[in-house]
């Protein structure tokens, strides 16, 4: 018997919940760094972040962290809620696992929403496009894509297990 199989479902749910909250929080933190630091530096090469912010301010634009933190924080709050509900409600381990995968998959939408304003502010100030200039957004999209694929596989496996258990003999 493997170590995970020897644990009770409640212990599995606890560990999945801890890992899920950490994963969603790490995703949000990386997205914030990408939006507020890495992308501006890549979009306006040769300038420091302070110089970029100063030029944006002079043009009447800002690189505000508050809306970015609010939008990305929604995912973190949802992850904590999933963890609490799953642990207190004694959910089957598959419930929080699939929920955290869904949150990670939807992280790409949160990233896009959080980066829209700062990207447009950069574009308006420096006469550039509002897209990502830094390649460090790609890992975020890759995580979301892999989480979506894992969600589909998890749903298929769960469906096959239920079908096998409920099939007449």
The string of pLDDT tens digits covering residues 62-106 is 999 999 999 999 999 999 999 999 999 989 999 999 999 999 999
Q: Is the dihedral of CA 10, 11, 17, 23 positive or negative?
A: negative
What does the alpha-carbon distance between residue 49 and residue 118 come to, in Å, rounded to a whole number? Answer: 13
- Using alpha carbons only, give the angle 101, 110, 91 rounded to the nearest 5 degrees: 30
Contact 134, 39 (CB under 8 A): yes
Long-range Cβ contact pairs of 155-158 (< 8 A, separation 24 or more): 155/98, 158/94, 158/98
Return the number of other C-beta atoms located less than 10 Å from residue 83's C-beta.
23
The residue with greater pLDDT, 21 or 6, is 21
What does the alpha-carbon distance between residue 124 and residue 104 come to, in Å, rounded to a whole number? Answer: 30
Read off the pLDDT band of 53 (50, 70, 90).
very high
Query: Residue 132's pLDDT is what?
Result: 94
Contact 56, 63 (CB under 8 A): yes
Give which of 37, 2, 4, 13 is closest to 93, Cα–Cα.
13
What does the alpha-carbon distance between residue 110 and residue 8 come to, in Å, rounded to a whole number? Answer: 34
Q: b or e along 8-19 (b: 16 or more beta carbons within 10 Å of the residue's beta carbon)?
A: eeeebbbebbee
Contact 13, 91 (CB under 8 A): yes
Question: What are the structural domain ranges in the chain?
Answer: 10-166
Which helix (H) or strand (E) segment holds residue 96: the answer is helix 94-126
Statement: the pTM of the whole predicted model exceeds 0.85: yes
Task: Quote the DSSP letter at residue 36.
Answer: I
Tokens at 128, concatenated = 């550039």
């Amino acid at each position: 018997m493997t170590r995970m199989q020897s644990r009770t479902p409640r212990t599995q749910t606890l560990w999945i919940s801890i890992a899920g909250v950490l994963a969603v929080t790490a995703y949000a933190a990386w997205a914030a760094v990408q939006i507020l630091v890495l992308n501006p530096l890549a979009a306006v090469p040769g300038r420091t972040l302070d110089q970029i912010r100063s030029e944006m301010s002079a043009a009447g634009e800002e690189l505000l962290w508050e809306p970015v933190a609010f939008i990305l924080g929604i995912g973190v709050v949802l992850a904590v809620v999933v963890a609490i509900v799953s642990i207190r409600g004694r959910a089957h381990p598959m419930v929080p696992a699939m929920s955290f995968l869904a949150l990670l998959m939807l992280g790409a939408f949160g990233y896009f929403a959080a980066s829209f304003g700062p990207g447009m502010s950069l574009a308006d100030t420096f006469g550039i496009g509002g897209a990502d200039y830094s390649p460090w957004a790609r890992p975020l999209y890759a995580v979301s894509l892999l989480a979506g694929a894992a969600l589909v596989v998890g749903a298929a496996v769960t469906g096959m297990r239920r079908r096998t258990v409920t099939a007449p003999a």
